[in-house]
Amino acid sequence: MNSPTLTTPGAVAPFDGAPDQGVPWHFGDPFAEQRAAARGVAVFDRSHRGVIAVPGEDRLTWLHSLTSQHFTALGQDRGTEMLVLDAQGRVEHHAVVANTGGTAYLDVEAETTAPLLEYLSRMVFWSKVEPRDATAELALLTVAGPDAAELLGKLDVPVPDGADGVRELPGGGFARRVSWPGAGAVDLLVPRGELGDWWSRLTGAGARAAGSWAFTALRVESLRPRPGVDTDEKTIPHEVNWIGSAVHLDKGCYRGQETVAKVQNVGRPPRRMLLLHLDGTREVQPETGDPVRHGDRVVGRVGSVALHHDLGPVVLALVKRSVPVDAELLVGAEDRVVQASVDPDSVPADSPRLGHEAARGLAR
Indicate whether 320 belongs to any domain: yes
Please compute the mean of the pLDDT values over residues 159-179 and round it to a whole number: 94
Residues 296 and 163 placed together within one structural domain of the fold: no
pTM: 0.94
Average pLDDT over residues 326-344: 95
Number of domains in the chain: 2
**Is 67 part of a structural domain of the chain?**
no
- Low-confidence winner among 109-113, 278-282, 292-296 (lowest mean pLDDT): 278-282
The answer as to whether 43 is a domain residue is yes
User: Do 329 and 276 form a contact (C-beta atoms < 8 A)?
Assistant: yes
pLDDT digits (tens, 9 = 90+) for 1-25: 899 999 999 999 999 988 899 999 9
Are the C-beta atoms of 230 and 319 separated by less than 8 Å? no
Percent of the chain clearing pLDDT 90 (strictly above): 90
Q: Residue 162 has what pLDDT?
A: 85
Domain region containing 334: 270-348
Phi, psi of 285 (to 5 degrees): -135, 145
> What is residue 281's predicted lDDT score, i.e. its pLDDT?
82
- Say whether both 147 and 215 belong to one domain: yes
Is 334 in the same domain as 274? yes
CATH number at 338 reads 2.40.30.110
In a domain, 78, yes or no: no
- Residue 77 falls inside a structural domain: no
For residue 182, the model assigns a pLDDT of: 78
- Examine residue 288 and state whether it is found in any structural domain, yes or no: yes
Q: Are residues 12 and 142 in the same domain?
A: yes
pLDDT at 352 over 90: no
Classify residue 237: in a domain, yes or no.
no
Give me the chain's average pLDDT, please.
93
pLDDT, average across residues 166-172: 95
CATH number of domain containing 166: 3.30.1360.120
In this model, does residue 267 exceed pLDDT 90? no
Same domain, 32 and 173: yes
For the ranges 200-204, 224-228, 277-281, 305-309, the lowest mean pLDDT is seen at 277-281
List pLDDT tens digits, range 75-92.
Answer: 999 999 999 999 999 999
pLDDT band at 138 (very low <50, low <70, confident <90, very high): very high
What pLDDT is recorded for position 350?
Answer: 60
Q: Measured on CA atoms in the order 262, 265, 267, 270, is the torsion positive or negative?
A: positive
Do 42 and 191 share a domain, yes or no? yes
